[in-house]
Structure 1
Amino acid sequence: MNASPVTLIKKAHSCVRLERDGRALVIDPGGFSEDDAAVGADAILVTHEHPDHFDEGRLRAGLESNPAAQVWTLRSV
């Protein structure tokens, strides 16, 4: 079985977006990444609470664009 390719998109600073088959995972949409870094994501991973990895506004924008998106993070976030 052949898996479809994954597209890796480097966003600003620590943020990365992985896309495959019309789905997207965004990692660390922090304060130095683009305002829309998490928009349209199906899942958002925040590795820790530092502001360059986590920004509440960017996380909210992602969830507003896709209320079914999953958020994975630590309790401290």
Structure 2
Amino acid sequence: MTKGATAKGQVTIPRAVRDMLGIVPGSKVDFHRAPDGSVVLTRADRNRPASRFEKLRGHAGKGLDTDAIMALTRGET
């Protein structure tokens, strides 16, 4: 997708990119030059949005304690 720059050098960040990076009005962004010469846009005012896997990370609730797990592996239940 190609975007043209305004007379002030401004460009519109496509919605898909804004959504992916979590950019909302007032967000700060950084531009970095990659080793291959390309320019990378990142959100500067907070860490990168959590991936779909990071969103799933956490505690699933009260689980079995060690004694219960050991009893299950020994067939004591």
Q: TM-score w.r.t. structure 1 length? A: 0.23
Q: TM-score w.r.t. structure 2 length? A: 0.23
Q: Which has the higher strand share?
A: 1
Q: Which has the higher helix share?
A: 2
Larger radius of gyration: 2
